[in-house]
Structure 1
Amino acid sequence: MNMPIKFDTLEYTRSLIEAGIPAAQAEAQALALRQAMAEATVSPSEMVLLRTDMIARIEMLRADIYAKLEALEERFNAKLDDLRKEFNAKLEALEQRFDAKLAALEQRLKARFVTMYWLFGVSLTLHAVTIGMLMRLFERLP
């Protein structure tokens, strides 16, 4: 990753010498600085490649995340369907038990009403006989 940087080593060396630094040391600093700046720079084409690579990686991650989200959604929906089926089965079983108990209760009530109908009929008949006999008794009275 090298990019030419506009750096005047001769001017830099002169500035250091004028500041009181020995010429050999000034030249060594200028060369070292030029090398460091040359190695630390990135060319525009390298930046474009880096940007393209980063965009491609982001798109790959996005696709991976969307695929994982879809798989998660499918698993969630499958579990939800299973729960719904299980709930409906239990609800249906509960309704059947309720209907069976209700039918048994209706049978018991009908049986009791039949007994009560018979008792009421017998009582009514006895009352009618009693009233009939009382009327005969009243007819015989002076």
Structure 2
Amino acid sequence: MSEGSISSSRTCHCGLAPRQFTSKTPANPGRKFRKCANRDKSCGYWKWDDDDFSDGAVIAINQLRLELEAAKGSINVLNMTLDQVKIERDGLKEKVEAWEAMKNFEANKAMKLEEKVLKLKMGIIMLCALIVGFEFAAMTK
């Protein structure tokens, strides 16, 4: 229960102005009450601040408070779910980046292999030309 202000409009049995508190119990969440301000020797004074409301109004107020708390809980669940989706999205982005890096690495490797194959083809063509040239030269002698 949280401590609030001191009111002079009411007095407790010791003649002191009672302190206002807010209930944090599940049965009365957010409901204001007053109790004796004397911490050393309390006179036992205690009263709901909303006693002036009808029982139906108090029930409706408490129901609305409970619905508000439930809505806050739902929002927290949605935020948690949204956070989980963001975490998963970030993980997937990292995987895509890793795959793109791997694809680029493999593409570079393939280009280098193609260059080597082209050089080997050129070497083979030149070797064939030399052999044909030597054969021609040998035949013409």
Report the TM-score, using the length of structure 2 for normalisation.
0.53
Aligned counterpart, 1:108: 120
1:125 positional shift: 5.0
- Tell whether 2:72 aligns with 1:50: no
**Structure 1 counterpart of 2:121, which letter?**
L
* Among candidates 108, 122, 130, match of residue 118 of structure 1: 130
Structure with the bigger percentage of helix: 1
Largest Rg, 1 or 2: 1
| Aligned positions of 1:56-75 closer than 5 A | 56-75=68-87
1:124 positional shift: 4.3
Q: Structure 2: which 5+ residue stretches go unaligned?
A: 1-54
Query: Which is bigger in relative contact order (C-alpha 8 A, separation at least 6)?
Result: 1
**Structure 2 counterpart of 1:65, which letter?**
V
- Determine the C-alpha separation between the residues in 2 that align with 1:47 and 1:125: 115
CA RMSD of aligned residues (A): 2.0
**Structure 1 counterpart of 2:124, which letter?**
R
Large movers: runs of 4+ above 2 Å: 43-47, 120-127
1:101 positional shift: 1.6
Aligned length: 87
Structure with the bigger percentage of strand: 2
Q: Which moved more, 1:47-56 or 1:108-117?
A: 47-56
**Structure 1 counterpart of 2:63, which letter?**
R
